Amino acid sequence: MCDHSKNIYLPQLATIAEIVDETADIRTFRLVFQDEAVRESFAFRAGQFAEYSAFGAGEATFCIASAPTRKGYIECCFRAVGRVTEALRSLEIGDTIGVRGPYGNSFPIEEFFGKNLVFVAGGIALPPLRTLIWQCLDWREKFGEITIVYGARTEGDLVYKRELKEWEERDDVRLVKTVDPGGNSPKWDGKVGFVPTILEEAAPVAENTIALVCGPPIMIKFTLPVLEKLGFGDDAIYTTLENRMKCGLGKCGRCNVGNVYVCKDGPVFTAARVKAMPQEF
């Protein structure tokens, strides 16, 4: 507005450097900012999100799915379900998209130092945790045991398959992958069962452990009691709320749950905070 830096709605331009088709309708973009100064200075914390522009269609909100420890690019992962995501999906390597951000709060990673971590994710909800998983793996010595329980409806719906393989091969991470009953092929080498059930079987120790849960509402609904049963307190469980957003800046009035504005007060919340909110999300 008054000068280039003052228009809070103005996105930075980024080039699509890589495209990975995670599933039939979920795609990962690796993005490199076109402005060298932005490329150098863009910093974010795991858990934060951005607004991604397909010029002509609008903006869509996703978390930043790459780790803050990986410099020079950011990644986002989205399912093509609406006007903007369909437009994003039609773009190719070398095309330009807009990025505004980073916005919102983040996982308080410093508070996790010295603790065990249990990541529990379902379907397309792995990206908001993947940013933190890689940061924790890059800072591996700062954490105790790391367990990842990840499931999807079918094998085909699992995202980051190449990274699941990598985590499976590491001896400093325990990956438990699962698909819903009926979602497996004869070659499937993981578990079969719903995420909460498989989590209960995996039985991570609750003492000195932080649980990080991200998934569809139905999965979270059934996962929280399991964690409680395993001995996790509500303050030791973190999740992210994915409300519809437009501005990302605490102004447009769309993402509030009661007087909590997900774009500013979230998207990362403890289970204790989520339980204290009005049930309107």
Partner 1 sequence: MQKTITEPNLRLLIDTLVSEGKRVIGPKAAGTMTLYEPLSQGEELNLGELPRRSAKEAFFPLCETILTYERDKEGVRVTDVDPQAIPETVLVAARPCDVAAAPVLDSVFSWDFKDEFFLERRRKTTIIGLACARADDACFCTAVGLSPGDTKGSDLFLAPLTDGGYRCDAITEKGEALLAAHADLFSDAATAEPLPLAEPTLGKLDLEKIRQWLDTHFEDPLWEEIAARCAGCGACAFLCPACHCFDIVDEGGEEKGARRKSWDACGFGKFTNHASGHNPRDVQPSRYRNRIMHKFKYYVDKFDQRLCTGCGRCVRACPVGIDIATVLEEINSK
Q: Which is nearer to partner 1, 59 or 200 (CB)?
A: 59
Which residue of 28, 147, 223, 256 would you call a contact of partner 1, by CB under 8 A? 256
Q: Are residues 84 and 11 in contact, defined by beta-carbon separation less than 8 angstroms?
A: no
CA–CA separation, 39 vs 203, rounded Å?
Answer: 42
Q: Which residues partner with 237 through β-bridges?
A: 211
Q: Is 25 a residue that touches partner 1 (CB under 8 A)?
A: no
Number of residues that bind partner 1 (CB under 8 A): 45
Residue 125 backbone phi and psi in degrees, to 5: -90, 10
Interaction between residue 121 and partner 1 (CB under 8 A): no
Among 98, 108, 144, 183, binds partner 1 (CB under 8 A): 98
Name 49's bridge partners: 63, 103
Q: Which of 129, 247, 271, 274 forms a contact with partner 1 (CB under 8 A)?
A: 247
Smaller CB distance to partner 1: residue 2 or 37? 2
Q: Quote the tokens at residue 152.
A: 């999807």
Report the residue from 55, 72, 156, 233 that binds partner 1 according to the rule CB under 8 A: 55
What tokens were used for 67?
């780790």
Q: Taking the CA of residue 46 as centre, how many other CA atoms within 13 Å lie in the half-sphere pointing to its CB? A: 26
3-class DSSP assignment, residue 33? strand
Q: Residue 98's closest CA among 27, 9, 28?
A: 9
Query: Cβ(222)–Cβ(215) under 8 Å?
Result: no
Q: Which stretch binds partner 1 (CB under 8 A): 148-156, 165-173, 232-240, 241-249?
A: 241-249
Q: Considering only residues 72, 156, 181, 217, which one is a binding residue for partner 1 as defined by CB under 8 A?
A: 217
For partner 1, which is the closer residue by CB, 81 or 203?
81
- Please, which of residues 164-183 interact with partner 1 by CB under 8 A? none
- What residues line the site for partner 1 (CB under 8 A)? 1-4, 6-11, 13, 53, 55-60, 81-82, 84-85, 96, 98, 217, 242-244, 246-247, 249-259, 264, 278, 280-281
